Structure 1
Amino acid sequence: MYWAEFLTVALIHLLAVASPGPDFAIVVRESVANGRRAGTWTALGVGSGIFVHVGYSLLGIGLIVSQSILLFNALKWLAAAYLLYIGLKALRAKPAEPGSLELAGAALERSARGAFTTGFVTNGLNPKATLFFLSLFTVVINPHTPLWIQAGYGLYLAAATALWFCLVARLFSQPRVRAGFARLGHWFDRAMGAVLIALGVKLALTQLR
């Protein structure tokens, strides 16, 4: 009975998650800089962040946020500041010293908790995701759909998001890909920093409609 609605939700989500944004940029950066393990944990953090949006959408808090310019702007500026912070750190990346590339992975291994938190915060603070899920749960999903089915949709969205970004992490953590970035790693970090800063600025300029 609800298959048509579910397929609509799945298709819209597929188009949204495949669109490059802060989540994509942060997973790629973690995967290239710190390897598959870090990239995967970041992807799982992004997927878990979906539960934040699903939770308040089911509770109706998303509607309050969407109607309150003050709350929306607070969320928007917090997310923008976080992206700018990460971007500025990446812009300050310095060239690796000769012979240090082999030791860097062992000496500065990214913790699972740190990678997961980065992914979770990046997704959880994204106000565009707030509006996306608000639209999804108020326009696409019938309000008369049982709550447990809507929760099931949310579980799928979180799992699908995590799976997609795990695949992204797997791709960008391939030895050949990482080796290609290794020699010019600091330039890659700086480029990704610029992307994150641009996303942060764009986010800061986002208007509530």
Structure 2
Amino acid sequence: MNELIAITVVTILAVMSPGADFALVTRNSYLYGRKSGIWTAYGIAGGVWIHISYSLIGLTFLQQHLPNLIYIIQYFGAAYLVYIGYKTFTQAPVLFDQNSTDITSRQAFKHGFLTNSFNPKTTLFVISIFSQIMTSENNISRLFAYGIFISGSHLLWFFLIAVFCSTQMIRNKIFAKQVAINRIIGVVLSTLGLSLLFANL
């Protein structure tokens, strides 16, 4: 139960943390409309599975053949949560250009998929999560279920962002408070990272 709560909190906060995915969904929703924003969210959720797949394959191999290396990765994973907490806390307000041309649903999906697939923030986040839960108690089915939750969280959050940010009034209110929101999320992520770091010592 403690593991589930920790994974849930870290995932939700990390997903909500503004970054390349957040900027892309907001931009596509604002410039091209709700439909484009939603298809971008689908693309991001699909891209997350790239990270989940190689994390499961790679970490499972290490657990079987180099188990001590898992502990080292866990330390780095916990330290990375502290790092992204700091980066979120100091994140500058996200800005967008005003140049817009129509894009298709397929293009919007591709934008989201490629942006997330090559996003180092998601790479390190997913590896950090799976390195913490890669234990003998967690079989492949449970790890896969965690993957579904992580991908589903991305889809739900960015779907909501697409809905809200396609309305200009809502968008303006969100971004007016983004600095304060970033700082709150940053503190919580760093605190969770430190707790995991000390738990692994």
What TM bracket, shorter-length normalisation? 0.5 to 0.7
Q: Secondary structure at the match of 2:135?
A: coil
Report percent identity of matched pairs.
Answer: 36
Contact 2:59 2:134 in 1 (8 A): no
Paired position in structure 2 for 1:6: 4
Deviation per residue, 1:130-154 (Å, 9 max, x gap)? 1111111112443541101100110
Contact 1:23 1:122 in 2 (8 A): yes
Q: Which runs of 4+ in 1 moved over 4 A?
A: 61-64, 175-178
Match of 1:135 among 125, 128, 131: 128
Residue 177 of structure 1: how far off its partner (Å): 5.7
Aligned positions of 1:125-164 closer than 5 A: 125-164=118-157
CA gap of 1:127–1:46, structure 2 versus 1, over 3 A, is: same
Contact 1:32 1:177 in 2 (8 A): no
Paired position in structure 1 for 2:21: 23
Residue 122 of structure 1: how far off its partner (Å): 0.5
How many residues matched?
141
Contact 2:30 2:168 in 1 (8 A): no
| Unmatched segments (≥5 aa) in structure 1 | 68-89, 95-103, 181-209
Larger C-alpha radius of gyration, 1 or 2? 1
CA distance in 1, matches of 2:52, 2:161: 23
Q: Secondary structure at the match of 1:47?
A: helix
CA distance in 2, matches of 1:132, 1:30: 24
Task: Indicate yes or no: 2:112 matched with 1:112.
Answer: no
Contact 2:59 2:131 in 1 (8 A): no
CA gap of 1:143–1:22, structure 2 versus 1, over 3 A, is: farther
Amino acid across the alignment from 2:16: A
Give me the TM-score of the superposition, normalised by structure 2.
Answer: 0.62
